[in-house]
Structure 1
């Protein structure tokens, strides 16, 4: 039983609800006892009946205190006062004029039940059971003492025992059901946590695969485009830097920070078209330059500024992979990159007039389009659309929402 509340609130709320219900039942018992004593006092004018009425009201006052401020001190005071009241009422009820054979009667049961329904300080079923047991034990002990003082016959009060048994059953059921709910919630929490961990691991593996694929492939394309003979020193420096990233701690992340932009300018050199903003697409420009691919840009690359750093880096890496694919497979040495912004989305289209291909014929072990492009963009809540016709060319449209991390 959780009342639809969060786990950390349900325990206290349920305990307070049960304690409040017990207090109402205790007030009902005391009100009944006070009514009987007052009626008898008015009808017969017996001083003992007036004393019983006052004692019952005093017990009710202390119960109000426990209800309003359920501290340990007030709970103990109520139990002590209640035990004294029970003892005094037993002396009155079991006196020569009482007319009861033993203490197992309805009048004696009323203060006893009010005493064991104390509720008390603290929360939880175990605490409530401890207070109820103390109240029941003190009440029976006070009853035994009172009947011993007047020489009457003692017998356990069955009504009070039944009330105590009911409290035990209710509190035990509440404790066991809440413990079962806690176990179920713990299991659900573990399952949710494991699912989240698997999602993070999958995301990391995709990034790692894409990063490794991009780095290795771009280097191979750059070396192939350089032709025979010694490798250009600028290309050697770039390869060395990328290898340094791979063996480092953050090798699987996308690197698009400003620290590498000066080096990209050096690597691109004179082969970078003057119209291309290296600051906006550093990896794409570097990939095209290293592959000997000329790119024409239409649209304003400044619109990429509406993207968060991580999303912009993912788009840059995906465009770079598109250009590498053009250089490797299209059979042309130029491509067009079109950039646009609309409807809350940034769109980059990479187009070539090369040999084209059928995406259904791409082998499953080729991860460039599937991982380095499509999976990377989809991780940023984007979409990839591809149109290609053999002998005519290929167009890949990458779309990502504005913002992002």
Structure 2
């Protein structure tokens, strides 16, 4: 089972963006926690008349935070910093006007909305971008503070809250960036690893197909030439020319098990087998073709080509090595598989004794069928003939 994972850079961007998004929740909490403190402070100082307006201004700041959370776009953040800055300035001017002492007894109450300006940025995919947006919020909060104290005609007393928020946010971003860099150095890039794995698999598949096509064409043609009289007859020349066209073409290179699904009827495969039978007839091997099963089924083009090529390779072994002059080819199909069995009563061989460097049935039949999701099994023994069973899945049964 394959587990899908995010690309490494995408995963890092998602985590970094989550840090920015956490600022929204903290900003909302800051505003909500300000409300009870504001009510208590204004009540103690006998200023409950200022409560409705200050609550409305805090509500405007809170609404801006919600807007950024719902639609985190740059223009929304910039609009929030502008309108939220004006609401914060109005809030601070109301608290400071006529009561300058509030900044000495409750400085945190005056600076609370400014913290929300610093905390709300845009989800950033990189640490430096997140720090830059937080820094912009800090600048806006500073300008708002200076303007508020000036309008209230109160000496400016900057609070430490915005500075602490900026410093804490920068530390979080930089720490996260350092952790990601360390992990990136230790954990492999799965995208690159998967690409390399695909390239290796493609190379191995190309190697298998090259080996099979060389065995089916070049080596068999050399055998025909060596065993022919001084002059090649017309059929031998036609076969050699056809194999040269196959080698020159690129279809066998680009073929794959993912080829387009095409209908393959029992009669159609029988026709191809009949052509193969005609080809081997003049080489001294007579084929008896029989079979049973549904009349129509669907397989991929790659499966059909692989099965017919595997049959041809099996018959090449009959013609070259078995000494038999007759071979049986039986075509069988059911709801799930189509199977072709090639049998001869020749001299046979010991499959375990075949050297590993021999191409033969291993590359031309077994590996070829495995590449398209099928299988091939060989039974043989000295003096007992040889049977090759070639099987592949049916994509869809069409009916009798």
Provide the TM-score with structure 1 as the length reference: 0.78
Q: How far is the alpha carbon of 1:253 from its aligned partner? A: 6.9
Within-5 A mapping of 1:2-401: 6-7=6-7, 17-42=18-43, 44-45=46-47, 51-91=53-93, 93=95, 97-99=99-101, 105-120=107-122, 125-148=127-150, 152-174=154-176, 187-223=189-225, 226=228, 228-250=229-251, 252=253, 279-281=271-273, 284-300=276-292, 306-342=298-334, 344-401=336-393
Which residue of structure 2 lines up, in the alignment, with residue 264 of structure 1?
none
Distance 1:305 1:114 in 2: 68
Structure 1's 382 and 55: CA in aligned 2 closer, same or farther, altered over 3 A? closer
Q: How far is the alpha carbon of 1:330 from its aligned partner? A: 1.4
Q: Tell me, yes or no, if the aligned pair for 1:102 and 1:154 is still in contact at 8 Å.
A: no
Structure 1's 198 and 277: CA in aligned 2 closer, same or farther, altered over 3 A? closer
The answer for unaligned runs of 5 or more in structure 2 is 256-266
Distance 1:284 1:357 in 2: 24
Structure 1's 103 and 86: CA in aligned 2 closer, same or farther, altered over 3 A? farther
The answer for unaligned runs of 5 or more in structure 1 is 255-274
Distance 1:68 1:358 in 2: 73
Point out the more displaced range, 32-41 or 121-130: 121-130
Q: Tell me, yes or no, if the aligned pair for 1:304 and 1:312 is still in contact at 8 Å.
A: no
Q: How far is the alpha carbon of 1:293 from its aligned partner? A: 0.6
Distance 2:34 2:269 in 1: 91
Provide the TM-score with structure 2 as the length reference: 0.79
What does the per-residue CA deviation read over 1:10-68, in whole Å, with 9 as the maximum and x for residues that have no partner?
A: 67765665455423322332234343333444551465566544433443344444344
Point out the more displaced range, 320-329 or 64-73: 64-73
Q: How far is the alpha carbon of 1:196 from its aligned partner? A: 0.9
Distance 2:129 2:65 in 1: 18
SS at match of 2:271: coil
Which residue of structure 2 lines up, in the alignment, with residue 259 of structure 1?
none
SS at match of 2:189: helix
Distance 2:277 2:253 in 1: 21
Distance 1:233 1:302 in 2: 38
> Comparing both chains, which one has the higher relative contact order based on Cα–Cα distances under 8 Å and sequence gaps of 6 or more?
2
Aligned length: 380
